[in-house]
Amino acid sequence: MKIALVLFVLTLASSTSISPYTKLNYSKQRSMTAVFAEVESKLQTNSPLDAVLNVLKQFKEAVNEEQVNHDQIYDIEYNECDSEFEFRNKEVEDASNVVRDSTAQLNICKTSKIRTTNQQEVNQQQLFTYQEHLTLILTTAENEQAYFKKRGRDYEDSLHAIDEALDILSGIVNGRKSFVELSSISKQLLQTSFNIQKTINYAPIFYAFSQLASQQDSFDQSQIERVEQLLLQLRENIHDTYNQFTISNAASVAAFNNQKDRINIILNRLSNQDEKLQDKLDHLNQCIGNQSAIVQVASTKVERNQQLWDQAVNLCNTFQAEYYTATRSRRSEISLIDELEEQVRQRFQQVEEQKPRRMLRYVKLKY
């Protein structure tokens, strides 16, 4: 069982150890499944210990050979990375010297242009940010206004339903209304309670209505008055909540208008600033000569080589990480193979130890 368990672990390890070095395109790929099958076959056919160990030895040799090949590739890639870094650094350094020497020949206009360009970029970014922010708060305000209108209608519908219920109760007392109409308004009250999320506040009303309905032939004036009192109290609570909601919305509208005015002021200032910066850039461009073109070309070269250097760093770091991962995986495979080898040796030792006992039993039976 222990050997089977180790073989199973080795099979899992093989499935996770292939991917790091499949890019190496080795002509002979290892197969943990094949090793598992071969070891199991030899164990089941009672093959000699050396034959089983030779399977494991060949696997270990394949792992070691692959590691040697990967080491060689790693050394080549490492040297290529160093060479690329050195080349790109030299390119950046040469281009930077050109920028430095050419910039020294430029007058104050070139320096002012760089500074003004940076200011304009920052200004435009701020302008874009505030425009996006204004669009966002306008959308939010529109949604909140729609919500306020809907919720306001819900509150008004609730108050209207309560008023109708009061009118029906009054009509029941003087015989103008019936309990059927009270049942109908109960459904409306229930719906409006859901709409304004005040169902709990309506619960006593619904209970009182059910009591009246069950005693409609024998109700008295005091029961009607008690329900009316509950309705009046509920109406007052809903009305107060509606007023608070209206006040809150008015405060939100005021805050929105204040924020919108403040952002518009900032947008106007940024727009005016952008126009001034553009006028200054147009003036500075007139005093830039041939040296500015040289600086542009050299700056582009610096930027391009810096990007290529960054890409080389990422590429080399990725390769190095893959190398270390694959190396750790191979070490894990070797460790598991060693453990399997130890299990195999122990199994053969146990078999050997049992042989004399069987022979002794045979002798006893014979004599």
Annotate 175-240 with DSSP letters as a single string: TSS-HHHHHHHHHHHHHHHHHTT-HHHHHHHHHHHHHHHHTTTT--HHHHHHHHHHHHHHHHHHHH
CATH annotation of 121-285: 1.20.1330
Contact 7, 40 (CB under 8 A): yes
CB 52 within 8 A of CB 42: yes
Q: For 304-344, how does the pLDDT look when each residue is reduced to its tens digit (9 = 90+)? A: 998 988 888 898 998 888 988 988 888 888 888 788 777 77
Average pLDDT of every residue of the chain: 78
pLDDT at 242 over 80: yes
Q: Out of 51-55, 58-62, 207-211, 266-270, give the one with best mean pLDDT.
A: 266-270
Q: Do 52 and 344 touch, CB atoms closer than 8 A?
A: yes
Show me where the domains of the chain are located. 2-97+304-366, 121-285
Residue 18 above 70 pLDDT? Answer: no
Q: Where is 305: in which H helix or E strand?
A: helix 290-366
pLDDT, one tens digit per residue, over 143-197 is 888 888 888 888 888 888 888 888 877 777 776 767 677 777 778 878 888 887 8
Region label for 240, one of left (φ > 0), alpha (ψ between -120 and 50) or beta (otherwise): alpha
218 falls in which pLDDT band (50, 70, 90)? Answer: low
CA dihedral 269→275→277→283, nearest 10 degrees, is: -160
Determine which of 4-13, 52-61, 147-156 has the lowest per-residue pLDDT on average: 4-13
Q: Which band of pLDDT confidence, cut at 50, 70 and 90, is reported for residue 6?
A: very low
Q: What is the per-residue pLDDT for 334?
A: 80
pLDDT at 273: 92
Asked if residues 318 and 40 have their Cβ atoms less than 8 Å apart, the reply is no
The answer on pLDDT for 100 being more than 70 is yes
CB atoms within 10 A of CB 196: 18
Q: CA-CA distance, 66 to 18, in Å (whole number)?
A: 11
Question: What's the pLDDT band for 268 if we cut at 50, 70, 90?
Answer: very high
Which whole-number Å values give the CA distances from 135 to 144, 161, 264, in the listed order?
A: 14, 39, 11
Q: Quick one: average pLDDT of 115-128?
A: 90
